[in-house]
Amino acid sequence: MPLLDTLLSAFKGGERTRVPLAAGALHAWSSGFEMATGPCGYLYRRGIEEGFLANPIAQRSVRLLAEGIGQAPLHCSDPKLAALVAATTAGQSLIETLAANLLLHGNGYVQIIKDASGAPVELFALRPDRVKVVLDANGWPHAYDYTVGTHVTRLAIDDDEGWPSLFAIRAMHPLDDYCGAAALEAAWQSVRIHNAATAWNRALLENAARPSGALVYETGDGAALTREQFDRLKHELDVAFSGAANAGRPMLLDGGLKWQSMALTPADMDFATLKSAAARDIALAFGVPPMLLGLPGDNTYANYREASRALWRLTLLPLAEKLFAALREALAPWFPDVELRIDLDRVPALSEDRERLWSQVSDADFLSRAEKRQMLGLPPEENAQ
């Protein structure tokens, strides 16, 4: 397929399919993006296969954010809660998994596993594409259906005693009351353009980085090649003149054959600019400074250190607070008034900001010692260790 057709196809999106709510009956609302198509034609499974698994910019953006939050130092006032949050879920970091789910799917679901006494012993992150929201007669979330193969398990939001058993975290979606919008969905068109340009550049490389031409059969009497002659000539061209190993190999023509070059203009072959623009749009959708992804041409950030600081301030910290706020709310029955956040004093990228804050607070003579400790996020003097 020509590159122009491939790129134009990236702009063709399907219409969103809405499933009407059934009044007075339970209704399962899909959160897997397989039943409903976004305005840009985004489907979750296709997004994972072509975006996260096949696109280096999208995958690096997700890993940079998810791993950054998952490995960030935590400050938690309760050791039991700290152990729950820091534990793995199916071998993966809980916080890292939830962050990746929000970026790729727009939703995160956590099942609270309890012991015989009803105390939480594990937080298990469910695959969001397997979850369907079950609504009651009034349109409120009632439960969640979790599908594995042909087996469907209904998970109640609260247990029989009214304690939370499962909670959801979702990114903002202005047009959906139950499911969030994924960052990958916003980057989907750019991902497809980037992948199409990569495939086109590879095809050019395999053909000596130059466009193909045409063999014109000119005999003067208007005769044409027979089917056997045409197939033989096509086979010889594929074997002897295609591929990087045959780049520059001279072609010997006979029998009235003439080579007619069909060159592209330099502007048509400037796919590096196209790929760079698509890559920057992908980084923009995820909130990652292009400099941190190795993309050239970014003059917004003075240096790598400024870009790292901007990543933390503008993307990582807001995303982390969204996750921790949901965890604090869901686990409040067992851990009331608990502190759970990233310890900013132990984040290397923010060390200069914290040093500046400490210096400013220390020099503020109009503040008392207690007020200074409060501004720095430290416990009162009598509770300090």
Q: Strand 74-76 vs strand 340-342: parallel, antiparallel, or unpaired?
A: antiparallel
Strand ranges, E, within 71-230? 74-76, 88-89, 92-93, 107-114, 120-126, 131-135, 141-148, 151-156, 166-170, 214-217
Helices 188-206 and 56-70 pack at an angle, to 10 degrees, of 130
Please report the pLDDT score of residue 155 as a whole number.
96
CA end-to-end span of the chain: 68
What is the predicted pLDDT for the residue at 225?
61
Torsion of CA 292, 295, 300, 306, to 10 degrees: 20
With CA atoms as reference, report the closest residue to 69 among 98, 92, 107, 109.
98
The confidence score (pLDDT) of residue 264 equals 58
Q: Rounded CA gap, 158 and 354, in Å?
A: 41
Residue 380 has what pLDDT? 81
What pLDDT tens digit does each residue of the chain (385 aa) get?
A: 444 444 444 444 433 333 333 333 344 545 444 444 455 568 899 999 999 999 999 999 999 999 999 999 999 989 999 999 999 888 899 999 999 999 999 999 999 999 999 999 999 999 999 999 999 999 999 899 999 999 999 999 999 888 999 999 999 999 999 999 999 999 999 999 999 988 887 877 776 555 456 556 565 555 666 777 667 766 766 665 555 554 545 454 455 566 555 555 555 556 677 888 999 999 999 999 998 998 876 655 668 888 999 999 999 999 999 999 999 999 999 999 899 999 988 999 888 888 787 788 888 888 888 887 877 777 787 654 4
Distance CA 359, CA 199 (A): 53
Closest CA to 312 of 303, 302, 321: 321
**Per-residue model confidence (pLDDT) at position 164:** 94
Determine the pLDDT at residue 41: 62
pLDDT of residue 241: 56
pLDDT of res. 4? 44
Q: Are 313 and 306 in contact (CB under 8 A)?
A: no
What pLDDT is recorded for position 120?
96
Provide the 3-class DSSP secondary structure of residue 189.
Answer: helix
Cβ atoms of 125 and 323 closer than 8 Å: no
